[in-house]
């Protein structure tokens, strides 16, 4: 039974191997062992510390393959973005100008460098090994973060955002970067992306243009990808939209990828989650799991896919799920449906 749990130092090599499979654009999971170790240590400090929305904190989760202990996925929550160093995005502004002689109306868009998301909670670093993209494991890896937020809401700010990887061509080149960023940074997209991924955002503040940029002055190939996600990010966007996230009209300053946002109370999985008491277990492994269940204890937070039955004496889950969650009868357990039916399709 696959388990999502907080990252530990023993996961460093596994995370490194996972990072090497991500390609360009996932800056929060750099293929750099020193940077990854720092992220794990920061997460361990967050899980063991007191909640403080006035400081940045990062919660890094991993998915473990029970057959061999291999790290096959990861996702994260970053609290207080922009509190330790600038967090930049381009806000898309709309401007209308009207002339009466001659009669004419011109609608234009501008990109304004902004720090709109300072203090927000970012859902980030979602990546699942391609060999494991099956059986709702992607949903588990993504939604485990919302179970953590539901179990410990005082640790997460109201505004929740997600930055989506922008569109790049088959060679990893970003039309948006080539039309804009390269003129001010004098480096290719991959180099700038790697520098930013290692945590050095000061060069953005030093070099990025501070005045609004008229998108009409950009080549068509760059305008076409403003707010356009990377092809591989479309499944993640669908998951986010079903949770209640919507386009914020802000885009990434490197690749033009969209930023989505939602209020913490509007996240579907968190709203649907319920905390109860484990009444007992049933033998046998559950088939076609319809729920996520988690051990809500911060020092031993764990999430699995399983089935949950509500009873007069509490909730009941398969014995193997209880073992994976490391809980016993009488312990608290939080659970939520893995998806919901819509008129068009099942989530």
Mean of pLDDT values over 269-277:
96
Predicted local distance difference test score (pLDDT) of residue 25: 53
**Known catalytic residues?**
230
Predicted local distance difference test score (pLDDT) of residue 197: 66
d(CA 169, CA 189): 12
C-beta separation of 168 from 24 below 8 A: yes
Reported pTM: 0.89
Out of 190-199, 230-239, 301-310, pick the least confident. 190-199
The model's pLDDT over 275-288, given as tens digits with 9 standing for 90+, comes to 999 999 988 665 67
Residue 91 burial by Cβ neighbours in a 10 Å radius (0-12, 13-18, 19+): middle
Domains (range + CATH), the chain = 3-89+115-268 (3.40.630.30), 273-337 (2.40.40.20)
Average predicted confidence (pLDDT) for the chain: 90
Predicted local distance difference test score (pLDDT) of residue 200: 64
Mean of pLDDT values over 274-303:
90
| Torsions phi, psi for 232 (to 5 deg) | -75, -10
Q: How far is CA 15 from CA 21, 64, 298, in A?
A: 10, 11, 22
pLDDT at residue 247 tops 90 = yes
């Amino acid at each position: 039974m696959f388990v999502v749990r907080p990252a530990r130092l023993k996961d460093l090599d596994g995370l490194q191997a996972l990072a090497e499979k991500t390609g360009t654009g996932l800056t929060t999971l750099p293929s750099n062992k020193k940077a990854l170790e720092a992220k794990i240590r920061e997460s361990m400090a967050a899980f063991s510390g007191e909640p403080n929305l006035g400081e940045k904190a990062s919660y890094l989760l991993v998915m473990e393959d029970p057959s061999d202990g291999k790290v096959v996925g990861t996702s994260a929550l970053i609290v207080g973005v922009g509190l330790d160093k600038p967090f930049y995005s381009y806000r898309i502004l709309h401007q209308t100008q009207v002339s009466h002689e001659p009669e004419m109306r011109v609608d234009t868009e501008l990109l304004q460098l902004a720090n709109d998301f300072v203090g927000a909670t970012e859902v980030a670093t979602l990546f699942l090994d391609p060999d494991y993209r099956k059986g709702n494991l992607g949903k588990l890896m993504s939604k485990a973060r919302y179970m953590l937020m539901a179990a410990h809401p005082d640790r997460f700010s109201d505004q929740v955002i997600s930055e989506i990887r922008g569109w790049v061509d088959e060679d990893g080149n970003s039309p948006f970067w080539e039309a804009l960023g390269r003129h001010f940074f004098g480096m290719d997209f991959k180099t700038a992306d790697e520098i930013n991924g290692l945590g050095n955002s000061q060069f953005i503040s030093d070099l990025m243009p501070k005045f609004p940029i008229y998108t009409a002055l950009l080549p068509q190939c760059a305008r076409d990808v403003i707010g356009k996600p990377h092809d591989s990010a479309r499944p993640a966007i669908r998951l986010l939209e079903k949770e209640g996230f919507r386009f914020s009209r802000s885009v990434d300053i490197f690749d033009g990828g969209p930023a989505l946002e939602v209020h913490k109370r509007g996240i579907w999985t968190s709203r649907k989650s319920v905390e109860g008491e484990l009444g007992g277990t049933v033998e046998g492994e559950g088939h076609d799991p319809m729920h996520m269940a988690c051990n809500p204890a911060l020092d031993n937070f764990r999430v699995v896919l399983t089935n949950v039955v509500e009873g007069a004496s509490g909730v009941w889950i398969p014995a193997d799920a209880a073992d994976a969650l490391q809980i016993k009868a009488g312990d608290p357990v939080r659970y939520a449906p893995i998806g919901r039916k819509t008129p068009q399709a099942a989530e």
